[in-house]
Amino acid sequence: MAEYQPPRGMKDIVPDEMERRKWIYTNIRNVLDSYGYSEVATTELEMWDTLAAKAGEDNLGEVYDFKDKGDRRLALRFDLTCGIARMVAGMRTPKPIKLYAIGNAWRYDAPQKGRYRCFTQWDVELFGTDSTAADAEIISLSSDILKSLGLDFEVRINNRKLVENIFSYLKIDKKLYSGAMRTVDKIPKLSEYDILEEFKNAGISKSQAISLLEVLGRKGKPKDLILILRKEFKVDKKIQESIDTLENLFANLGKECILDLSIVRGIGYYTGIVFEAFDPKEEKLGSLFAGGRFDGLVGVYGKEDMPAVGVGGGIERLLEVMGQKNAFDNLKRPKSVFIAPINDNVRPYAKNVATSMRKNGFVTELDLTGRNLKKQFDYANKKGFSFVAVIGDKEEEEKCFMLRDMVSGKEKKMTL
């Protein structure tokens, strides 16, 4: 007999994991609702052209795509941003437009720890303002989400315009910017030799590559690095303006934020401020959230362009990091009651008790199997119920039930 399994890189979500996910979703929604963002849901299946318009070469290589029965080329979304930008392009609503979504995305990538081909993202987008205050709000609310989950993290921030202006200062051909950006993004992950080889393969000269690595390999306290950059590039007006943007941004952010000049983000639609958050002790898992400014994306999908900044994070990585930190050990579960009728005659009354308990906010399950009382208690214990309500003929007659605390073992007579 064949063993049926999910496709490679995909998995089913069992009840225990779903409980943890729901807790994470609730924390995310609570933070984003408190900032005044509205939840939306875009289609998981997009026209190929929608994703190809601004996805970037690397992402398009990982897209699940196919033709439907009408010979139209379709694709599963690789993130939530493109779909939300497409949706916003057709909206007529006061600006700024503040939206978020939680949903699945797909990438044909190499499966590994904390990374799947089908994964769940939380995504936040702010449209209609180019103020650094908007970038700061997106970074702050993302940080608040991780804080609500009890995680330690560091947010690494950069400005792609600064990097492009440094390319220009070093007289790198604009045609090489895309390949150079992809290499800069790998600086924290590869050796100096490998980075220089990557730059060489991207068409960058050795002297340019050495200069890029020297400048863009830095990270640290914003105030210190900004001072160094201002001195090194004091004659370049565009670089100074890019530094101004960073300085204004950091003035509105917390101490968990640092300047990392290698952060450029690999997706092609980013245009300005970019950032990623990491758990310093679990960097191999990748970023806990990442995002940036993408001012040209909405205009791709509609007549009117508008500035935008957003962030996204993977639920699977949060689950992995939180599991390693035993963050779910103290997960507060709702009070739950298992209703245990002694015989079938009292089942209608037991059902009334269950209805009453649910109305009073208890998660309540009524035995459906007709098992004896011992087996019902065994089941309730294995499922982790807070209480068991025992109902027999006497309890029905007196309109009451015996409630046992499954932790202390104490029993108390309760009236309906």
C-alpha span between 178 and 202 (Å, rounded): 9
Domain boundaries, the chain: 15-324, 336-415
User: Do 15-324 and 336-415 come out as alike in CATH topology?
Assistant: no
C-alpha span between 390 and 377 (Å, rounded): 10
- Asked whether residue 310 carries a pLDDT value surpassing 90, the answer given is yes
Tens-place pLDDT, residues 323-369: 888 888 777 778 999 999 999 999 999 999 999 999 999 999 999 99
The upper half-sphere exposure of residue 254, i.e. CA atoms within 13 Å in the direction of its Cβ, equals 13
Second-level CATH architecture of 15-324: 2-Layer Sandwich (3.30)
C-alpha span between 225 and 16 (Å, rounded): 45
Q: Which residue has the tokens 């800069």?
A: 184
Share of the chain above pLDDT 90, in %: 77
**Which tokens sit at 7?**
């496709």
Tens-place pLDDT, residues 43-95: 999 999 988 887 655 667 889 999 999 999 999 999 999 899 999 998 888 99
Second-level CATH architecture of 336-415: 3-Layer(aba) Sandwich (3.40)
| Residue 171 CA, distance from chain mean position | 37
Q: Please, which residues bridge with residue 139 across strands?
A: none
Task: List the end-to-end C-alpha distance of the chain, in Å, as a whole number.
Answer: 52
Q: How confident is the model at residue 302 (pLDDT cuts 50, 70, 90)?
A: confident
- Side by side, the strands of the sheet bearing 38-39 are 38-39, 97-106, 118-127, 308-314, 289-293, 273-278, 154-159, 257-260, 219-220
Tens-place pLDDT, residues 230-261: 999 999 999 999 999 999 999 999 889 999 99
Q: What's the one-letter identity of residue 377?
A: F
3-state secondary structure 239-272: HHHHHHHHHHHHCCCCCCEEEECCCCCCCCCCCC
- Asked whether residue 193 carries a pLDDT value surpassing 90, the answer given is yes
DSSP structure string for 170-224: TT--GGGHHHHHHHHTTTTTS-HHHHHHHHHHTT--HHHHHHHHHHHT-EE-HHH
Q: Are strands 97-106 and 65-67 parallel, antiparallel or unpaired?
A: unpaired
Q: Specify whether the CB–CB gap between 206 and 196 falls below 8 A.
A: yes
The whole model's pTM is what? 0.87
Share of the chain above pLDDT 70, in %: 97
